Structures are given as structure tokens and as C-alpha cells.
Amino acid sequence: MDLVQLVYYSRNLLADDDKGQLKLLREILSIARQKNVERDVTGYLIFDKHWFIQILEGDRAHVRATYERIARDPRHTQVTLLDTKPVRQRTFSQWSMGGAMRNLDQQEVFLAHGIAGQIDPTKLNAAKIVAVASDLAALSGGRASQAA
């Protein structure tokens, strides 16, 4: 398999009340998980009120097609590709798409990576994002509890 890992970020256009946002995010994650399982794509989605930051892993053609589909989604804008690189193994092999709303435990992970307050993906590189997401994924413990 021509295994790659892709990292992008985008501006979130979801409703700004927390309840509406959570509902839409559940929908996004649910569809993402269904489709990603079919294509053996794995990854992690970090989000807050302003940003989505997502990592997609899998066969190059599947990752590219998934990214192109996501990039056309009207629920976000300014979709910005940070990196696509070949990898020997997946970082998120247990996750058809992990992701969770920021809570106190997550906050600790961000702080441990030197990210205090609002996250600003325009100031992060792909390696940093993968490191943070990998620690966030470890918090919630794999496929059995894909939060949110």
C-alpha cells in the first residue's frame, strides 16, 4: 500500500451555540467513520469554535479522494493543506476518525505541547499537530471510545 498521512486545517462555519455545534460534529464524525472504514482511512479531528484540524491516513488515492470531498464541504472554509507525506505506519490505526470537544484532560495535553488558550493552526506545523493529536487519541483510548 502507498501509505500517506495528510494534515490540513480549515475555518469552522458551524452554528456557534455549543449544542448545535456538538450535534453537527456528531453528524460529521458519524459519516466520516462510516466512509473511512469502507476505505481503510484512519485519522483524528481536532476542533473548537473556530477551527478544524484533521489528519487523514491511508492509501494515497483514498486519502486524496477523501480530502477532496471534505474540502468541498460547505460546513467549513479556507481549507488549507499543510502536508501530505509517505509514512511507514499509521499513527491512528485504531481510529476510523477520532475526535472530541475540548475538555479539561484535553486542555492538559495542549498545555503540555505549549499551546495555551485558543488553538491557532496557522502557527502550527504538521509534525506538531500529529504529536498533539496522538496524545489526545491516547487519552480516550482507541476504537472502543471514539469520543463526541
**Residues near ligand FMN, by CB under 6 A:** 28, 31-32, 35-36, 45, 52, 54, 66, 69-70, 73, 75-76, 97
Q: Please state the closest distance from residue 12 (CB atom) to ligand FMN, in A.
A: 8
Instruction: CB nearer to ligand FMN: give 31 or 61.
Output: 31
CA angle 34, 36, 38 (to 5 degrees): 75
Whole-angstrom distance, CA of residue 80 vs CA of residue 71: 9
Whole-angstrom distance, CA of residue 123 vs CA of residue 133: 16
Instruction: CB nearer to ligand FMN: give 96 or 106.
Output: 96
Instruction: CB nearer to ligand FMN: give 80 or 108.
Output: 80
Q: Determine how many CB atoms are found less than 10 A away from the CB of residue 41.
A: 25
